């Protein structure tokens, strides 16, 4: 039974990572054809950094992703704290409203935002793209922060104020450190959703402003360039290094915590 479980997990991992491994392999393929191997080369990486259109799309993707994630994290954290202080029934209604954009189709969200900008006479461009990403990222931050707020001692804020802290000092020095893992998770989730989004971006961006997903979609009409394979490989490598660094940091914290708890003999 154990061997069967391991084989099942191995098949799932192979199904998930085999396409990524193939993409990384063909980013070093000298031939443009995906059907044959033309030898090892770094040509596509050199051409990638020389391609102004892809670099501009990458810059737009990163700037919109970081800005929207930061804004959504601030708004979502404040919204989660406000919801947590509500009574049970109104909080349940508001949580259902917040979850609605996540359950809704992205096509509906994109079209509705586009109609909203047209109705208030806002020209589509970088600003509308940023606002749209903030709008659909906020619910993910709220849902990431709420579990950490539920784990808090309800009297901790009052205790901080009894000791002379102002409400702002109590939040920054007492509450925020406890909910920081949820805030960070919400930020990472918002950043990931922003970078990954295509449908909402397609409907809410204007001419001359495009992120990576729109650029790749445009290229797909005439064939995907191997430069996209190189770019995808670099993005995967960055995410992999980031995850390894976070896990190593968690392991160090756990080891230090174990050493503090250990009783000397």
Domains recognised in the chain with CATH numbers: 52-226 (1.10.3720.10)
| DSSP SS3 for 190 | helix
pLDDT digits (tens, 9 = 90+) for 136-146: 999 999 999 99
CA separation, residue 12 to residues 16, 202, 258 (Å)? 6, 32, 34
Higher pLDDT, 140 or 226: 140
Mean pLDDT taken over the chain: 86
Tokens of 95: 């949580």
Q: Which residue has the tokens 């192979």?
A: 14
pLDDT digits (tens, 9 = 90+) for 99-129: 888 888 889 999 999 999 999 999 999 999 9
| DSSP SS3 for 40 | strand
Asked if pLDDT for residue 265 goes beyond 50, the answer is no
The beta strands (E) that lie in the chain are given as none
- Looking at residue 73, its pLDDT comes to 95
Higher pLDDT, 68 or 168: 68
Q: Are 44 and 229 in contact (CB under 8 A)?
A: yes
pLDDT digits (tens, 9 = 90+) for 166-202: 777 777 788 888 888 889 989 999 998 999 899 999 9
Rounded distance between C-alpha atoms, residue 26 and residue 44, angstroms: 10
- Looking at residue 104, its pLDDT comes to 85
The pTM of this model reads 0.84
Residues in the chain: 265
**CB contact set of 61 (below 8 Å; sequence gap of 6+):** 195, 211, 212, 213
| DSSP SS3 for 32 | coil
Higher pLDDT, 251 or 70: 70
When mean pLDDT is compared across 27-41, 69-83, 196-210, the lowest value belongs to 27-41
Rounded distance between C-alpha atoms, residue 92 and residue 143, angstroms: 13
- Looking at residue 155, its pLDDT comes to 75
Q: Mean of the pLDDT values across residues 152-174? A: 75
CA angle, residues 114, 204, 224, in degrees to nearest 5: 140
**CB contact set of 160 (below 8 Å; sequence gap of 6+):** 169, 170, 173, 174
């Amino acid at each position: 039974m154990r061997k069967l479980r391991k084989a099942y997990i191995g098949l799932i991992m192979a199904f998930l990572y085999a396409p990524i491994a193939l993409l990384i392999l063909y980013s070093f393929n000298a031939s443009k054809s995906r059907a044959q191997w033309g030898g090892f080369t770094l040509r596509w990486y050199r051409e990638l950094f020389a391609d102004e259109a892809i670099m501009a799309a990458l810059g737009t993707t990163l700037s919109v992703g970081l800005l929207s994630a930061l804004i959504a994290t601030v708004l979502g954290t404040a919204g989660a704290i406000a919801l947590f202080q509500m009574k049970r029934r109104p909080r349940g209604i508001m949580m259902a409203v917040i979850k609605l954009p996540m359950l809704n189709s992205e096509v509906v969200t994109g079209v509705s935002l586009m109609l909203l900008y047209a109705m208030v006479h806002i020209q589509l461009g970088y600003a509308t793209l940023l606002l749209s990403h903030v709008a659909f990222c906020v619910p993910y931050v709220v849902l990431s922060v709420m579990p950490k707020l539920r784990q808090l001692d309800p009297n901790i804020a009052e205790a901080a104020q009894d000791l002379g802290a102002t409400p702002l000092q109590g939040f920054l020095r007492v509450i925020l450190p406890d909910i920081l893992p949820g805030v960070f998770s919400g930020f990472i989730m918002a950043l990931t959703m922003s970078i990954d989004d295509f449908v909402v971006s397609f409907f809410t961006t204007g001419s001359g402003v495009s992120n990576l997903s729109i650029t790749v979609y445009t290229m797909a009409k005439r064939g995907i360039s191997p430069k996209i394979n190189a770019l995808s490989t670099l993005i995967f490598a960055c995410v992999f290094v980031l995850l390894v660094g976070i896990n190593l940091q968690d392991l160090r914290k756990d080891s230090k915590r174990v050493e503090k708890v250990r009783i000397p003999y």
